[in-house]
Amino acid sequence: MVSTINISSKKMFTEFHRILLSRGFTEENALRCAQIFTNNSIDGIYSHGVNRFATFIKMVDDGYVKPNNTPSLKSKHAGIEQWDGNLGAGPLNAMFATDIAITLSQQYGIGCVALSNTNHWMRGGAYGWHAAKKGFVFIGWTNTIANMPAWGAVDNRLGNNPLVLAVPFNNEAIVLDMAMSQYSFGSMELAKMKDEKLLVNGGYDTSGQLTNNPSEIIASKRALPIGYWKGAGLSLLLDILATILSGGSSTQEISKNKIEAGLSQVFIAIDISRLGNNSSISNLIDNIITDYHQSVTGDEKNKILFPGERVLQTRKNNLANGIPVIKNIWEEILQL
Amino acid sequence: MVSTINISSKKMFTEFHRILLSRGFTEENALRCAQIFTNNSIDGIYSHGVNRFATFIKMVDDGYVKPNNTPSLKSKHAGIEQWDGNLGAGPLNAMFATDIAITLSQQYGIGCVALSNTNHWMRGGAYGWHAAKKGFVFIGWTNTIANMPAWGAVDNRLGNNPLVLAVPFNNEAIVLDMAMSQYSFGSMELAKMKDEKLLVNGGYDTSGQLTNNPSEIIASKRALPIGYWKGAGLSLLLDILATILSGGSSTQEISKNKIEAGLSQVFIAIDISRLGNNSSISNLIDNIITDYHQSVTGDEKNKILFPGERVLQTRKNNLANGIPVIKNIWEEILQL
């Protein structure tokens, strides 16, 4: 039984801000970074919000994340730019790159920023929400350390390389944020802690059989790609693209260091206000979602949700009642 | 037991060309279209080559595919353009859109063409190979008629919306061409015909249980999205993006007509020769693939292949020995 406490978003933000300042972040960077970690938690993405904050601070303390390094331009050609993240804080670099991609898209219709030498962006969906709330289409992805085998292999040479697609919708957004593994190791650790089985098979046990027992997958370190060979293939292509477009490190190179640092990421924005059908776009999306919501389920209570839809309710609840945090995790943060 | 015969690529091309001319295609359009169908077959993608040719001709005969209609520009803003496919032949429209995206990328670094009102592009990988062999990165996708349920639903409101990613490699290419369903209905029909089970579960039986029996999935019409909720979510976002970027029909609108026509597609090209690290790109890819090939398998004979790698061997075999075609299918084509 895992014991949780509710922490107000204001309290959480204040603690994060205090800790970031204590690690040498400038006031502005501390505010921005605390806000991203708090927002991820408000939205219910605890694994890349409050649950990951102490790990992030350790990366700062160990010198892998440079608090006040900012990206520098490496090369540009009209709508595409390459930036070096200079090992700055991943969430700050990613938000910076998203904003540059948006600016490029305003000029060129579509803009692409490829970012090398950056760090874990935490919740990729944060950048999708950011761009889509401003009215832009967003497509982005990151590579990661090797944490998934190729299809048919037993050793991990692929990252789970999360992919984010986002579109504006009803002053909010539809945001898909998906890693190429069926489950993240973070969510498997959580299921293990709660003594729960996974809903579907999430990887292999140490004898090579597919299993939904998170403990066995954590022991074998063999997570399952979504769609078996398909997710493995998509992961490989996302790594190749992030690496060549940014001129940065591949999953293989990142993995040599055993520490997940110096990642490669891609941020694409599209300015849909420049399209000839701009005025009808919200209707087009509305029609698709209305139909999607009419999906027939075997069970009346089981409403079909679009990616990101649950977030709105979670956000409302967490803002009203505080963010549920595992007690040990919060106590650890207070000690930082 | 399915009986096959080997048809030389020249013979296949000649027959396709003859039939297309008989349906009113201009000489140039007949040559191009015959070449795409033949190339797809040479590469071993029979389901979207020779096996689909008669269906394509029926779409022409029934008036859904207009042999000589070509795309017309609807709107443009620097690197992004919207084109109306005017219900022309899907493969010809898609190749046209790919070439425009390439041209845009040469000027703007990244170029995007969104195509409405087009038809089935057959093998999406064809456009990835085309762009990558010319030295460009390619990202493209199409929507389809509804053929897959949302996660948790029993009725089909999502398309399987194939996604293509391609990069140049060793004068050839790495090309991922994947639908969002674990298996296409085409491949399940083939497995059924050969009385084979699927390697992994590919959908539901009529009682709602997951199964690898293709006959039962064909009967229930419920295919499984890759990665369960993840592939369903990605399919939804790809449909939304194709629809809004092109100002075209969504999966829902296409499905109203029961005939898969008037599709929406997206073609993105990136001119990697404009990037600052242009000279090192082939090395970066080489390093990734060399590592990937070193994946450890339980079985010495089981070599790990990258997406598109098997195509090169199949292409060589089929050019040397002829293309294996199911006898009935070839006889049907000869009657067209």
Q: Searching chain A, which residue's CA lies closest to the CA of residue B167?
A: A241
Are A81 and A113 a contacting pair, CB within 8 Å? yes
Who's near B335: CB < 8 A, 6+ residues apart?
A: none
- For residue B210, the tally of other CB atoms under 10 A from its CB is 15
Contacts of A241 in chain B (CB under 8 A): 137, 165, 167
pLDDT digits (tens, 9 = 90+) for B44-85: 999 999 999 999 999 999 999 999 999 999 999 999 999 999
User: pLDDT band at B321, cuts 50/70/90?
Assistant: very high
Nearest in space to B189 (alpha carbons), one of B12, B94, B329: B329
Which pLDDT tens digit goes with each residue over B162-187?
999 999 999 999 999 999 999 988 88
- What is the average pLDDT across B292-305? 87
Q: Are A269 and A105 in contact (CB under 8 A)?
A: yes
- CA distance linking residue B115 with residue B97, whole number of Å: 7
Contact B326, B2 (CB under 8 A): yes
- Quickly state the pLDDT bin for A1 (edges 50, 70, 90): low
Averaged over A58-66, what is the pLDDT? 97
Residue B1 confidence (pLDDT) above 70:
no
A140 vs A127: CA distance, rounded Å: 8
Nearest to A32 by CA among A74, A86, A88: A88
- The answer to whether the Cβ–Cβ distance between B178 and A111 falls below 8 Å is no
Q: How many CB atoms lie within 10 A of CB A215?
A: 15
Nearest to A236 among B137, B302, B307 (CB): B307
Cα(A209)–Cα(A198) distance, integer angstroms: 15
Q: Which of B153, B230, B284 sits opposite A244 (nearest CB)?
A: B284
Chain A residue closest in CA terms to B243: A284
For B335, other C-beta atoms within 10 Å of its C-beta total: 7
Structure tokens of B77? 């803003």
pLDDT tens for B245-292 read: 999 999 999 999 889 999 999 999 999 999 999 899 999 999 999 999
In order of start, what are the domains of chain A with their CATH numbers?
4-64+313-334 (1.10.1530.10), 72-181+228-274 (3.30.1370.60), 182-224 (3.30.60.50)
The yes-or-no verdict on residue B298 having pLDDT over 80 is: no
pLDDT reported for residue A258: 87
Instruction: Say whether A293 is catalytic.
Output: no
Chain A residues with CB-CB distance to B281 below 8 A: 244
ipTM for the predicted complex comes to: 0.97
Structure tokens at B57: 């001709």
Nearest CB to A226: which of B230, B239, B291?
B230
State the pLDDT at residue A217: 96
Of B269, B312, B306, the closest CA to residue B128 belongs to B269
- pLDDT tens per residue, range B13-38: 999 999 999 999 999 999 999 999 99
pLDDT in tens, B101-147: 999 999 999 999 999 999 999 999 999 999 999 999 999 999 999 99
Mean predicted lDDT score pLDDT of chain B: 96
Whether the CB-CB separation of A175 and A125 falls below 8 Å is answered with yes
Cite the beta strand spans of chain A per DSSP E: 4-7, 72-77, 80-84, 110-118, 137-142, 148-149, 156-158, 163-169, 172-178, 203-204, 210-211, 263-270, 323-326
Task: Pick left, alpha or beta for residue A235 (phi over 0 → left; psi -120 to 50 → alpha; otherwise beta).
Answer: alpha
Q: What is the pLDDT of residue B225?
A: 97
Global pTM value: 0.98
